[in-house]
Amino acid sequence: MANPDANTFDVIVVGGGPAGSSAAVTMARKGLSVLVLERAAFPRFHIGESMLTYTSAMLDKLGVTEKVKAEGFPVKTGAEFCHTGEGFHRVDFTDQGAGRALTTFQLERADFDVIMLDHAAECGATVVQEARVTKVDMEGDRVVGVTYTAQGTERSVRARRVIDASGRAGLITKNVLRSRKYPQTTRTVAVFRHYIGVDEATNPGVEGDIQVGAHADGWLWAIPVRKDKLSVGTVIPASMLQSAESPDALFEEHVSRVPRIRQRIEGAEHDGTLVESEFTYYSDQVAGPGFFVVGDAGAFANPIFSAGVYLALVSGTHAGELTAGLLSGEREEEATVDEYQRFYKTGYDTYTRLIHGFYDHDYNLGKFLKSTGARVAPMWVARLLGGDFWSEKNPLGRHLRELPDNSTFSPYEPTYGCPVYPGLDSTEPADTKLHEPLTTALD
């Protein structure tokens, strides 16, 4: 571990969430001196989160799987899509096929983020919590360090490169580049509770599953973040909350619409109702001279399919790998910056297109697939919902990227090749039968 009082590091990482921690782990393991500046004191509250199956492989890659397992988080083997009637559809992760992780975790983010940040420190990164970055230091158009305040003292530190993992604060994209854009979409809010004393015997579905429940005005989530603790939320247009009697009344009424979620919380107590706004945004520039932007610091999409942590881990790890290559002299900066930006945009754009399909068709992905004439085998649906955002082999991903009206970023050249299972992806034949009348997995 480097001296925390040093004024120069190989890399400064701003933000200690999953994106920043994964970048720090990747670079510290390669022997780089890494300073992580985290604004909060961990643990700090974060909405509980459902992991994608491809996240499991990323945790293996980062060497943290056993630590996560030891925490006793619920194991997730599938995802249930239900609605106001009695019917439902379950996506079974075993449909992904051989060679891929078939389970993942449901996480209480406050505890998971501590595991990740502690792991970064154990790998050799210097971590400073309650450190508020006040300025990005520049030489011309190059990022060369930051100024931050911790324990009442202001310090300036320099680095050969900076990784911005500052999340919604958007240290570089919002405050330096001023490149953050807010698409003209309906702003949504989440009204949610954590239920304590949940008995999974009341669950009409499979223990450990996330439930996504659709109704006329929005959708609900139910995520078991602990064995007896369930995160439940309703996501709706912000205007609906403004006209509601109260957040509590709105929450109760929406949960009452989806019988399978309502049944799951019978007899449980909650610890209060919270509200969080969702602002979708993106930046066309997520890398440049001296810096990479990772995770939510570059883009944020609606959380319907729970890809936030996964995208953070993948982008953070990839940025860490590229940074190590740059600092060793194995890579040239201009080409590497272009490569990273195309990689980042491909993943976030594919995921956002999936969200568009859900929202634009009454919160029903099966209805979206039918409306486009797409028929796709269950394997490809399970993989896409698991994080298969970069593969050109997945016909559903290809189809989503071909839709002209659902673009996120300005035109760019996608980067293909799965970063999680590169060997499998490169040897597997592509499925070219998208428009043949196969059985769709979400009918």
Tell me: the pLDDT tens digits for 133-176?
Answer: 999 999 999 999 999 999 999 999 999 999 999 999 999 999 99
Give the N- to C-terminal CA distance of the chain in Å, as an integer: 53
Higher pLDDT, 49 or 208: 208
Of the listed ranges 168-172, 199-203, 338-342, the one predicted with least confidence:
199-203
Tell me: the pLDDT tens digits for 3-28?
Answer: 667 899 999 999 999 999 999 999 99
Query: Do 431 and 393 form a contact (C-beta atoms < 8 A)?
Result: yes
Q: What is the pLDDT of residue 374?
A: 61
Query: Do 218 and 363 form a contact (C-beta atoms < 8 A)?
Result: yes
Q: What is the pLDDT of residue 439?
A: 42
* pLDDT reading at 251 higher than 80: yes
Q: What is the pLDDT of residue 86?
A: 86
Mean pLDDT computed over every residue of the chain: 92
> Any idea where the domains of the chain sit in the sequence?
8-72+108-181+281-331, 188-278, 364-427
In angstroms, the CA 25 to CA 83 distance is 41
Q: What is the pLDDT of residue 345?
A: 98
The burial class, CB within 10 Å (0-12 / 13-18 / 19+), for 410 is exposed
In what helix (H) or strand (E) does residue 263 lie, and over which residues does it extend? helix 259-264
Q: Tell me the percentage of the chain whose pLDDT exceeds 90.
A: 79
In angstroms, the CA 314 to CA 62 distance is 10
In angstroms, the CA 49 to CA 9 distance is 33
Query: Do 317 and 22 form a contact (C-beta atoms < 8 A)?
Result: yes
Q: Which fold has domain 8-72+108-181+281-331?
A: FAD/NAD(P)-binding domain (3.50.50)
| Domain at 188-278, CATH from 3.30.360.10, 3.30.9.100, 3.40.50.2000, 2.60.40.10 | 3.30.9.100
pLDDT category of residue 47 using cuts at 50, 70 and 90 = confident
Statement: the pTM of the whole predicted model exceeds 0.85: yes
Tell me: the pLDDT tens digits for 383-432?
Answer: 999 999 999 999 889 888 988 878 899 999 999 999 999 999 999 887 76
* pLDDT reading at 358 higher than 70: yes
Higher pLDDT, 360 or 365: 360
